[in-house]
Amino acid sequence: MQLFASLPDRVTLVEVSPRDGLQNEPGTVATADKLRLVEALLAAGLTRLELTSFVSKSRIPQLADAEELVRALGPREGVRAWALVPNAQGYGRARAAGLTEMAVFVSASETHNRKNVGATIADTLARIREVASLARADDVRLRGYVSCVWGCPYEGEIAVGGAVALARTLVDAGCEQVSLGDTIGVGTPVQTARIVDAFARELPLDTLALHLHDTRGTALANALTGLELGVRTFDTSVGGLGGCPFAPGAAGNLATEDLVYMLDGMGVRTGVDLAALCEAGRVAQEVVGRRLPGKVLNAGPPVRRPS
């Protein structure tokens, strides 16, 4: 019996801690501290970053400094960074700040979508199409997110067919990749295999990413399942930082260092230095003022003996 026969040489990690990680914190992190965290992540070799979100400052006050953070970071050679935009107004703010990449988002759950963005799924898709039209005119790259694919805190299990249709709509609108979210961390490997298979029947695997929360300790197992089935992009957050303020019970994301440690041990390259990543995790703990749950962050990278 041959295990892990289809492993790739390399996968891509999307670091979401500056946005998804900090939006659920009870307090506001200073822009200078956010910038310090981003610099530490870049130093570890992470080159794809979800920086912030141009949403209503009253709804997510933790990200009210979006313009300031984007301008302070500026463009970096070899780095792709973007922000979430909910509508044309958010798109305009992001463009004015200098971004040339953005992300749009919709939930597979009608109830969660209404609570998250204050609109129906249909109205949200109309807003996304408006943003996509602006992006095409400006040559802005778009990424898409579908939340609550594995389950919803309000509606329970979600029909995968509806989630697939939403992802198809985002791709047709111009999103080059769609990230599928287990927003409340209910997924198990068998369920993940069924979901990835359903999406792969309708969309190329290279247009899909997995965004897995670790609420019940299954995110790493779900990532391994996705890897075996051909997914090559994973959203992660250093230290396991994160959560959704509009999804009760949504704990932190899959910790970047936990996934990097596993992949390193399997011979799958990420371009990320694990020791430097753990240092970035320590910076994250400093800026939020608490210990984070990432297992490798707390245990430390293993001592390697020379061969």
Question: What pLDDT, on the 0 to 100 scale, is given for residue 263?
Answer: 98
Question: What pLDDT, on the 0 to 100 scale, is given for residue 10?
Answer: 97
Question: What pLDDT, on the 0 to 100 scale, is given for residue 51?
Answer: 98
Handedness of CA 225, 16, 294, 155 (dihedral sign): negative
Question: What pLDDT, on the 0 to 100 scale, is given for residue 247?
Answer: 58
Q: Of 119, 173, 180, 110, whose CA–CA distance to 145 is shortest?
A: 180
Specify whether 244 is catalytic: yes
Catalytic, out of 148, 152, 175, 244: 244
Q: What residues have CB less than 8 Å from 258, skipping those under 6 apart? A: 220, 240, 294, 295, 296
Kindly give the confidence (pLDDT) of every residue in the chain, 307 residues in length, as a single tens digit, with 9 standing for 90 and above: 456 777 899 999 999 999 999 998 888 999 999 999 999 999 999 999 999 999 988 889 999 999 999 999 999 999 999 999 999 999 999 999 999 999 999 999 999 999 989 999 999 999 999 999 999 999 999 999 999 999 999 999 999 999 999 999 999 999 999 999 999 999 999 999 999 999 999 999 999 999 999 999 999 999 999 999 999 999 999 999 986 666 555 568 999 999 999 999 999 999 999 999 999 999 999 999 999 999 999 998 777 655 5
Retrieve residue 240's tokens.
Answer: 């396991």
Task: Determine the Cα angle at 46 with ends 239 and 255, to 5°.
Answer: 20
> Cα(78)–Cα(130) distance, rounded to whole angstroms?
29
CB atoms < 10 A from the CB of 304, how many?
A: 6
Question: What pLDDT, on the 0 to 100 scale, is given for residue 189?
Answer: 98
Q: Of 177, 174, 190, whose CA–CA distance to 132 is shortest?
A: 174
Superfamily for domain range 12-297: Aldolase class I (3.20.20.70)
Question: What pLDDT, on the 0 to 100 scale, is given for residue 228?
Answer: 95
Distances (CA, A) of 185 to 179, 286, 287: 15, 25, 25
> Cα(227)–Cα(233) distance, rounded to whole angstroms?
9
Q: What is the largest CA-CA distance in the chain?
A: 59
Question: What pLDDT, on the 0 to 100 scale, is given for residue 248?
Answer: 58
Going from N- to C-terminal start, the domains of the chain cover 12-297
Question: What pLDDT, on the 0 to 100 scale, is given for residue 258?
Answer: 98
> Cα(215)–Cα(223) distance, rounded to whole angstroms?
14
Q: Give yes or no for a contact between 228 and 6, defined as CB atoms under 8 angstroms apart.
A: yes
Question: What pLDDT, on the 0 to 100 scale, is given for residue 1?
Answer: 46
